[in-house]
Chains A and B, each alone.
Chain A
Amino acid sequence: SVPIYSKYTRCTELRRVDDNDIYKLATILDVNGCWRKLMSIIPKRLDAQACSVPGGLNYAEIAGKVGLKYTTQQISLIDGTAERLTPGQSISQVMIDEWKTSGKLNERPTVGVLLQLLVHAEIYSAADFVALHFLNEPKPDRPTDGPAAHISLDLCSEDL
């Protein structure tokens, strides 16, 4: 019963994603300042297409080698736009608008890069949304420990 249709691929650049879809993603990232968590881990100068495939973004290696794209100051600049937002505009949208048009041709962020960064930052609200609604893929696996881990009811003897 799973539809075959997916709206985007992992290689689709974020600037090619419909404004309405970016807006839905942005409202998710507005919760608890998640956009800030995402922005603060974006690596500098990444080969976006090579990193788009599942597992293609080895975060520790990339961030360790080339460092981070945005400084605390640049993140504060986005924060500062909060008061100037018009109704219906979201601060995460400002952040994504900055990110999606940044960098050279091969550095432009893609849906695949976005998804892997969201998982790395444990922003599962947005990661689940991107996997299901952008890519028609199953939700990403959760770690077995920490705040993102699933909690389930223990099976009692009568269940067995």
Chain B
Amino acid sequence: KRSGREDNSMPIRMLPMSVRQALCEHLDSLNVWQQLAAFVKLYSSDVQHIQSENSRGRSPTNEFLNIWGGQYNHSVYSLFALFHKMKLHNAMRLIKDHVDEKFHKYIPKSEP
């Protein structure tokens, strides 16, 4: 299996706070957390948890990262690949400094 073979990126939970904040602001403004949760097939209990945090005024993207990055221990490379599959190109740009340069070609050159 080739997945993860080239992955030497840091865990999502190690992303610098400034990057994480920019990412949360960007993805919250697009309101895509439900699509992210559906794509990675989060269990409904976790989706409900994000929903309730969201209704209490907390960032749903941050809660998504807490669960998918925290409990499941996914890497920034996997997050980059997830954004690629969901065509979230600006989100890819926000974390590109934390994945190997050879993956930067997956980011489209032009702004969407």
Interface residues, chain B, with chain A CB atoms under 8 Å away: 2-4, 7, 13, 40-43, 46, 49, 66-68, 70-74, 77-78, 80-82, 84-85, 103, 106
**Least CB distance, A25 to chain B, in whole angstroms:** 13
Is A76's beta carbon under 8 Å from chain B?
no
Chain A, residue nearest B106 (CB): A153
Interface hub of B2, B74, B85 (most chain A Cβ within 10 A): B74
Q: Are B41 and A150 in contact (CB under 8 A)?
A: no
Residues of B within 8 A of A54 (CB): none
CB within 8 Å for A150 and B3 given contacts A31-B70, A124-B72: yes
Residues of B within 8 A of A32 (CB): 46, 49, 66-67, 70-71
Top 8 A-B pairs ranked by shortest CB distance? A152-B3, A125-B73, A31-B70, A150-B3, A124-B73, A151-B81, A151-B78, A153-B81
A-B contact list, 27 entries, CB within 8 Å:
A32-B46, A32-B49, A32-B67, A32-B70, A32-B71, A34-B71, A124-B71, A124-B72, A127-B73, A145-B41, A146-B41, A147-B41, A147-B42, A147-B72, A148-B72, A150-B7, A151-B3, A151-B40, A151-B74, A151-B78, A151-B81, A152-B3, A152-B81, A153-B80, A153-B84, A153-B103, A155-B2
